[in-house]
């Protein structure tokens, strides 16, 4: 809580008095008053998503977040463990427990079915089936020291996306638009490109939580019209639609004057206007037909299995090029408990070419330096599993070890930071809780987690929940 100070002879603002009362009494009752005063001190003409200056100097102006839902195996993608070849099918004992005491019965070490190689001048370790990503290896910064707290998909997804295992808090994209606004007032500031089915935990993964409603992510449907009801009904002209919106706004404004402090009403009014503007802007942004055949081919659009994720990656580039601040792409499910060679093999083939094309395209267009690209899942996977179906080897969930990589936006390209133990069970070098990763991602975007706060339920809240530290080793 911030200290309350006031000097004699200086005017005492109502907001200052409320700060002091909240600090001394710790009363949740002051939350609504605070929110009202903060809203009044922000000129309405500026709008809720107007661009804001960075709190700290930083290269990244926007973010593309590639979320591999289900927990991709670090051991089978970017963190080779030769020791597992020696231990393959030997009994695995977790945390000193006797095998007979383990709930899941006998378990065995499992070697990776994939061969690894060194890619680029940096010598980045990659499984050989990352054929295209190897071509941009020197743009990537691999981090092997992150740990989370949960091995359950929904709670781990919430923690990776929102900092809170139990949901209900703002997503990192919402925090980003809260801190920086957006660069195009005719498009949402935070756009989500989900898979056909929503991820574990649902839309709360991109929710606004306790932040104003206009900071929530806007999901685009993967099939059919990306946004339902984007166009007015047949027979309704834009002039008639404008008149209708003006009448609705007048009625809403009258209600808002009588009942101030209704954040949801203000957000609804803003969304009506945004939807009207989006009718002109969105169709041309979402139309991939304007891209030349060579670009579509590079992203794998029109080919299987790359078409779906290729379209998302190309659309992400177009969106950030048009000024969208934060774009999150989902791909899953990487939850390979069985047949990891087949399952992870198919998943890598679907995303390898599109992601590599995205990195190269951003570089070619001069956007990579100012765009932070993040690739991660909600946790890693274990070096062991039970044997089901003969050679149907897979891996279990692992909260203590994972690989995350970043590109652009001020990260230390061409480096691998941190390490896991010889079997990939646990991070042992440059080990940090996910809250420190969040603090670092905000720092790369020019935001200070300790200053990017929102007063709610009697205290100032932040993405890291309780504060954290920047992982300096990741910064260029």
Cβ contacts of 296-300, under 8 Å, gap ≥ 24 = 298/353, 298/357, 298/360, 298/361, 299/353, 299/354, 299/357, 299/358, 299/361, 300/353, 300/354, 300/357
What mean pLDDT value characterizes the chain?
A: 83
Mean pLDDT for 356-378 is: 98
| pLDDT on residue 420 | 98
Run of H or E including 346:
helix 340-364
**Alpha-carbon separation of residue 13 from 7, 17, 91, 228, 353 (angstroms):** 12, 6, 68, 45, 57
Residue 309 is part of which domain span? 46-81+110-224+289-474
User: From start to end of 47-189, where are the E strands?
Assistant: 62-68, 108-109, 116-119, 124-127, 140-143, 146-147
Task: Decide which of 23 and 119 is more confident.
Answer: 119
Q: How many domains does the chain have?
A: 1
| pLDDT on residue 231 | 56
Most confident of 4-18, 101-115, 409-423: 409-423
In a domain, 170, yes or no: yes
User: Strand pairing partners for 108?
Assistant: 91, 385
pLDDT at 86 over 50: yes
Q: How confident is the model at residue 410 (pLDDT cuts 50, 70, 90)?
A: very high
| pLDDT on residue 183 | 92
Main-chain dihedrals φ then ψ at residue 310, nearest 5 degrees: -60, -40
In a domain, 73, yes or no: yes
CA dihedral 231, 66, 447, 266 (to 10 degrees): 20
Dump pLDDT digits (tens) for 108-147.
Answer: 899 999 999 999 999 999 999 999 999 999 999 999 999 9
| Number of Cβ atoms within 10 Å of the Cβ of 287 | 11
In terms of Cα–Cα distance, which of 186, 190, 164 is closest to 175?
A: 190
- Counting Cα atoms < 13 Å in the Cβ hemisphere of 100 gives 0
| pLDDT on residue 37 | 43
| pLDDT on residue 29 | 35
In a domain, 94, yes or no: no
Task: Decide which of 27 and 232 is more confident.
Answer: 232
Q: Where are the alpha helices (DSSP H) in 201-262?
A: 238-258
Distance CA 223, CA 439 (A): 35
In a domain, 470, yes or no: yes
Tell the residue number behind the tokens 């998943």, with chain if given: 347
In a domain, 238, yes or no: no
The CATH number assigned to the domain holding 406 equals 3.40.720.10
In a domain, 242, yes or no: no
pLDDT at 406 over 70: yes
Task: Decide which of 394 and 139 is more confident.
Answer: 139
| pLDDT on residue 89 | 84
**CA–CA–CA angle 383, 389, 392 (5° rounding):** 40
**Alpha-carbon separation of residue 29 from 146, 182, 345, 372 (angstroms):** 38, 32, 54, 39
Dump pLDDT digits (tens) for 290-314.
Answer: 899 999 999 999 999 999 999 999 9
In a domain, 63, yes or no: yes
Q: How confident is the model at residue 45 (pLDDT cuts 50, 70, 90)?
A: very low
Task: Decide which of 266 and 209 is more confident.
Answer: 209
In a domain, 8, yes or no: no
Orientation angle between helical segments 14-25 and 31-40, nearest 10 degrees: 150
| pLDDT on residue 95 | 56
Q: What is the pTM of this model?
A: 0.81
Residues 385, 110: contact at Cβ < 8 Å?
yes
């Amino acid at each position: 809580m911030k200290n309350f100070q006031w000097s004699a002879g200086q005017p005492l603002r109502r907001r200052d008095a409320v700060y002091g009362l909240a600090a001394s009494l710790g009363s949740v009752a002051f939350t609504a008053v605070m929110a009202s005063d903060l809203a009044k001190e922000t000129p309405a003409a500026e709008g809720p998503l107007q661009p804001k200056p960075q709190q700290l100097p930083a290269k990244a102006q926007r973010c593309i977040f590639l979320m591999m839902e289900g927990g991709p195996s670090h051991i089978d993608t970017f963190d080779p463990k030769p020791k597992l070849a020696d231990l393959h099918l030997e009994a695995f004992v977790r945390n000193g427990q006797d095998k007979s005491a383990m709930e899941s019965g006998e378990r065995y070490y499992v070697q990776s079915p994939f061969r690894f190689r060194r890619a680029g001048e940096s010598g980045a370790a990659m499984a050989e089936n990352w054929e295209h990503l190897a071509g941009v290896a020197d743009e990537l910064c691999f981090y092997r020291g992150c740990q989370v707290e949960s091995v359950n998909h929904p709670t781990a997804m919430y923690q990776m996306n929102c900092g809170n295992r139990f949901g209900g808090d703002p997503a990192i994209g919402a925090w980003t638009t809260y801190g920086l606004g957006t660069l195009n007032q005719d498009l949402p500031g935070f756009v989500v490109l989900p898979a056909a089915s929503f991820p574990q935990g649902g839309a709360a993964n991109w929710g606004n939580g306790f932040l104003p409603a206009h900071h929530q992510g806007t999901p685009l449907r993967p099939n059919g019209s990306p946004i339902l009801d984007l166009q007015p009904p047949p027979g309704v002209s834009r002039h008639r639609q404008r008149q209708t919106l003006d009448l609705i706004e007048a009625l809403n404004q009258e209600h808002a004057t009588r009942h101030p402090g209704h954040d949801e009403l203000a957000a609804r009014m803003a969304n009506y206007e945004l939807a009207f503007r989006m009718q002109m802007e969105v169709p041309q942004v979402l139309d991939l037909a304007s891209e030349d055949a060579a670009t579509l081919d590079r992203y794998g659009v029109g080919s299987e299995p790359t078409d779906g994720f290729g379209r998302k990656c190309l659309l992400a580039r177009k969106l950030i090029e048009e000024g969208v601040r934060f774009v999150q792409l989902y791909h899953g499910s990487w939850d390979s408990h069985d047949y990891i060679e087949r399952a992870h093999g198919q998943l890598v083939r679907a995303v390898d070419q599109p992601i590599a094309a995205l990195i190269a395209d951003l570089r070619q267009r001069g956007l990579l330096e100012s765009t932070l690209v993040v690739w991660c899942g909600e946790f890693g996977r274990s070096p062991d599993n039970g044997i089901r179906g003969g050679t149907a080897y897979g891996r279990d969930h692992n909260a203590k070890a994972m690989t995350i990589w970043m590109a652009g936006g001020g990260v230390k390209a061409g480096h691998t930071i941190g390490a896991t133990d010889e079997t990939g069970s646990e991070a042992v070098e440059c080990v940090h809780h996910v809250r420190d990763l969040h603090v670092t991602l905000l720092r790369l975007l020019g935001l200070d987690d300790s200053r990017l706060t929102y007063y709610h339920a009697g205290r100032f809240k932040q993405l890291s929940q309780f504060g954290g530290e920047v992982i300096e080793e990741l910064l260029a």
